[in-house]
Amino acid sequence: MRFMDPDANDHPKEACGLYGVYGSPDVVPLIYRGLFAQQHRGQEGGGIVVSDGERVQSVKGTGLITDVFAKREARELSGTLGIGHVRYSTSGSTRPQNLQPLVARMIDGIWAVAHNGNLVNAEKLRRSYEESGAIFQTGTDSEVLIHLLADPRFRQGSPRVAGALAELSGAYSLLLMTKDCVMAARDPWGFRPLSIGRIGDAYVFASETCAFSVTGATHERDLEPGELVIVDKNGLRSHTIPGPPVARKAHCVFEQVYFARPDSTVFGRNVHLVRVELGERLAEEHAVEADIVCPMPDSGNSAALGYSQKSGIPLNFGFIRNHYVGRTFIMPVQDERSASADMKLSIMPEVVRGRRVVVVDDSLVRGTTMKRRVIDLRGAGAKEVHVRISCPPIAHPCFYGIDFPTREELLAARGDVSAICDFIEADSLGYLSEDGLLAPFENRGDYCTACFTGDYRVDPSGATGKLSMETDRLLFNLSAEA
Rounded Cα–Cα distance for residues 224 and 244 (Å): 16
In a domain, 357, yes or no: yes
Per the structure, the complete domain to which residue 269 belongs is given by: 263-453
Looking at the fold, whether 357 and 419 belong to one and the same domain comes out as yes
In a domain, 339, yes or no: yes
- Helix or strand or coil: residue 413? helix
Closest CA to 432 of 363, 370, 373: 363
In a domain, 465, yes or no: no
CATH of the domain at 377: 3.40.50.2020
Catalytic (active-site) positions: 16
Return per-residue pLDDT of the chain as tens, 482 residues.
333 333 334 555 556 999 999 999 999 999 999 999 999 999 889 999 999 999 999 999 999 999 999 988 888 999 999 999 998 765 444 556 789 999 999 999 999 999 999 999 999 999 999 999 999 999 889 999 999 999 998 877 667 899 999 999 999 999 999 999 999 999 999 999 999 999 999 999 999 999 999 999 999 999 999 999 999 999 999 999 999 999 899 999 999 999 999 999 999 999 999 999 999 999 999 999 999 999 999 889 999 999 999 999 999 999 998 877 554 444 444 454 455 556 778 999 999 999 999 999 999 998 999 999 999 999 999 999 999 999 999 999 999 988 765 788 899 998 899 999 999 999 999 999 999 999 999 999 999 999 999 999 999 987 765 444 445 544 444 333 33
Looking at the fold, whether 144 and 219 belong to one and the same domain comes out as yes
Looking at the structure of the chain, the number of domains it has is: 2
Looking at the fold, whether 390 and 420 belong to one and the same domain comes out as yes
Q: CB under 8 Å to 417, separation ≥6 — which residues?
A: 393, 429, 430, 431
In a domain, 249, yes or no: yes
Q: Is 86 left (phi over 0), alpha (psi -120 to 50) or beta?
A: beta
- Helix or strand or coil: residue 405? coil
Looking at the fold, whether 241 and 270 belong to one and the same domain comes out as no
What single-letter DSSP state applies at residue 110?
Answer: E
CATH of the domain at 221: 3.60.20.10
Looking at the fold, whether 230 and 267 belong to one and the same domain comes out as no
pTM above 0.85, yes or no: yes
Chain center to CA of 109:
31
In a domain, 7, yes or no: no
In a domain, 6, yes or no: no
- Helix or strand or coil: residue 120? coil
Looking at the fold, whether 172 and 272 belong to one and the same domain comes out as no
Looking at the fold, whether 422 and 322 belong to one and the same domain comes out as yes
Rounded Cα–Cα distance for residues 57 and 193 (Å): 27
Looking at the fold, whether 246 and 99 belong to one and the same domain comes out as yes
Helices vs. strands in the chain: H and E counts, helices first: 18, 23
Q: In what order do the strands lie in the sheet with 218-222?
A: 56-62, 45-51, 81-87, 17-22, 202-206, 195-199, 218-222
- Helix or strand or coil: residue 291? coil
Domain boundary among 256, 272, 290: 256
Rounded Cα–Cα distance for residues 212 and 478 (Å): 39
